[in-house]
Structure 1
């Protein structure tokens, strides 16, 4: 990859936190209590959703010999195949609801945030180091290379090293591709389980602070369901 392009990608997909806005939420995913999640799933939604959680647990507890890139692929494929994409207004009767992985599995559907949060939490629970992952808000161009149309979208970025070009896990394009092969995505900002919001190329069209309460809420609900986020 040309050095100038790599430098551009590093600016667009920053791997270093620039603004810590959460305050008091230095969190890291310590463990996934699958038994607890099954209990919650069975009590709230019934046996079919408890079985979906068991499938999810099997995915996370896969063979130790599976390398990190294979874990990325399996988790990305699991959610892209299992979930149906739909707007929050259809799934939750709300304009913008951020669901936990359990809630998303229970509905069998979600929007881009729900796909991304489920993948991100699963990768952490599967042992991928938190410093290698970012949830990234982007503008996604729709309608082809010449299209002027775009929409707000969320993906997961995986950084093999701090300065590396990230790999993008997405529900729009099932194949995991380097950011350089996703010219349809224009990064805005990113954040992590540690509660750090990261300034991107342009924050004018999507204010991170406006979404902070939703992120706090989904972290708290995940903890109650068995995805334990601890200091």
Structure 2
């Protein structure tokens, strides 16, 4: 991994084939895989379960429903902190899962636990259901590297475009969210204790390949291969300190 890479968090190249495998199985037949559309893991805009969660946040956490300056960023911060404090981080090889098995947002909410994908899908779904445009929300799939360029493991994280037009990483696996939304570009630059490297991003509309500036389309990592062979997921709580906030 080279220093100084910049990324288009909007996504660079729309991927038409959005099918993925190995993430769900037929109930009672764990060897029978179900193909899914990766976009389906982010709830649609008016999902009633997400709306019920947001009503509780409006009633108890002062989640703004108005559209005054700053309200969208405050909305994102409150939702981020809710997911960080309410969803316990667990690895796939725990009580509820076998292998790299993904939960849908309503399942993660019901269980109150999940890994990086599960909490990320819930957070992104809540952002969109709160009225934030899907085009200001992304789920990134990639890796995290330490300051020496060594891979810490595969990871999934939410990205939100703030009211100043800057993309921010809302790390869903934290125990609590910081007061400031950290800008994504800073967390991919040199000089950090850890750096995020996105390969793909998606929302409930599209799947995109995310390429560093010096990479030509078609030179990236195939998403099917990435999902099959990616390394063990990194627990970011072990690495995040002052850099994320």
In structure 1, the residue matched to 2:64 is 63
Structure 1 residue 148 and structure 2 residue 138: aligned? no
In structure 2, the residue matched to 1:208 is 223
In structure 2, the residue matched to 1:125 is 129
Q: Distance in 2 between matches of 1:112 and 1:192?
A: 16
Match among 200, 219, 240 for residue 189 of structure 1: 200
The gaps in structure 2 that reach 5 residues or longer are 20-36, 189-194, 213-217, 228-245
1:192 deviation in Å? 1.4
In structure 1, the residue matched to 2:94 is 90
SS in 2 for 1:131: helix
1:147 deviation in Å? 6.0
Match among 6, 10, 22 for residue 9 of structure 1: 6
Q: Distance in 2 between matches of 1:160 and 1:82?
A: 23
In structure 1, the residue matched to 2:160 is 158
SS in 1 for 2:82: helix
1:172 deviation in Å? 4.6
Aligned pair count reads 183
Q: Which runs of 4+ in 1 moved over 6 A?
A: 25-28, 202-205
| Structure number having the greater helix percentage | 1
Q: Which has the higher contact order (CA 8 A, sep 6+)?
A: 1
SS in 2 for 1:76: helix
SS in 1 for 2:6: helix
Describe the superposition over 1:160-211 as per-residue Cα deviations: whole angstroms up to 9, x where unpaired: 48x94411111355333101221310111111101x2211238989632468
Preserved CA contact (<8 Å) 1:91 1:107: no
The gaps in structure 1 that reach 5 residues or longer are 38-52, 213-231
Q: Distance in 1 between matches of 2:126 and 2:226?
A: 21
In structure 2, the residue matched to 1:178 is 183
Output the aligned Cα RMSD: 3.4
Q: TM-score, normalised by structure 1?
A: 0.66
**CA 57–95 in structure 1, closer or farther in 2 if over 3 Å, else same:** farther
Preserved CA contact (<8 Å) 1:91 1:109: no
Q: TM-score, normalised by structure 2?
A: 0.62
Preserved CA contact (<8 Å) 2:73 2:162: no
**CA 124–60 in structure 1, closer or farther in 2 if over 3 Å, else same:** farther
SS in 2 for 1:106: helix
Preserved CA contact (<8 Å) 2:158 2:172: no
Match among 74, 77, 80 for residue 78 of structure 2: 74
